[in-house]
Amino acid sequence: GVISLGIATPTEAAATGAFGTIILVAIYRRLTIKVLKDSLYDTLKITGLVFMIRVGSLAFSQVMGFTGATKGLANFVLSNISSPILIFIFMQILLLFLGCFMEIVSMMMITIPIFMPIVIALHFDPVWFAVAYLINCSVAMISPPFGMSLFVMKAVAPKDTTMGDIFKAALPFCGLTFASVALIIAFPQIATWLPYTLAR
């Protein structure tokens, strides 16, 4: 709610949610030193995992930028794939693959410098592409078998929860997200109508 109302950023909203959780646990009289200690330990463990992935992807994106590989890859794709829609689909498949190994910000740091020159060269609508891109980034994080968020969920789930249980729970969300991307490809107005209406 605080994000939708423009009161807080996503980071501030997350902090508000964490604070609300502490209050809720206290109301249920389960707020103990052990609970706080376990929560902090799990938070540090997951944060360390995400930061290690982010450091690696940052280094990779810097190497791509300094060596000129980004421009070379864009030229290679444009010269070898003739159909614009095939290039678009290839980009989405690449996002799904990268989502197996890194979180969304790191994926953006690596792919946006590669994708945007191609998007501009092919005269894709940037808003349309960005909406499909962000939706696909989110599904990449939860797509079995290697979506990074699935392993984060396993780390915080009850001990009797198996990876199979988590995969099964993620599949309906993946299916719905794929359907949304397909609709956006077929009917670009779904992604562009509201932003351009508000911009008038």
Q: What is the rounded distance in angstroms from the CA atom of residue 101 to the CA atom of residue 57? A: 10
pTM of this prediction exceeds 0.75: no
Looking at residue 143, what is its pLDDT?
Answer: 77
Tell me the pLDDT band of 27, cut-offs 50, 70 and 90: very high
CA dist 159 and 141 (Å) reads 22
**Residues in Cβ contact with 16 at an 8 Å cutoff, skipping those fewer than 6 apart:** 2, 8
- Mean predicted confidence (pLDDT) in 41-54: 79
- Residues 63-100 have pLDDT tens digits of 766 777 666 766 776 677 778 888 888 888 888 777 77
pLDDT tens sequence across 144-179 = 776 777 877 777 778 888 888 888 888 888 888 888
Other beta carbons within 10 angstroms of residue 96's beta carbon come to 18
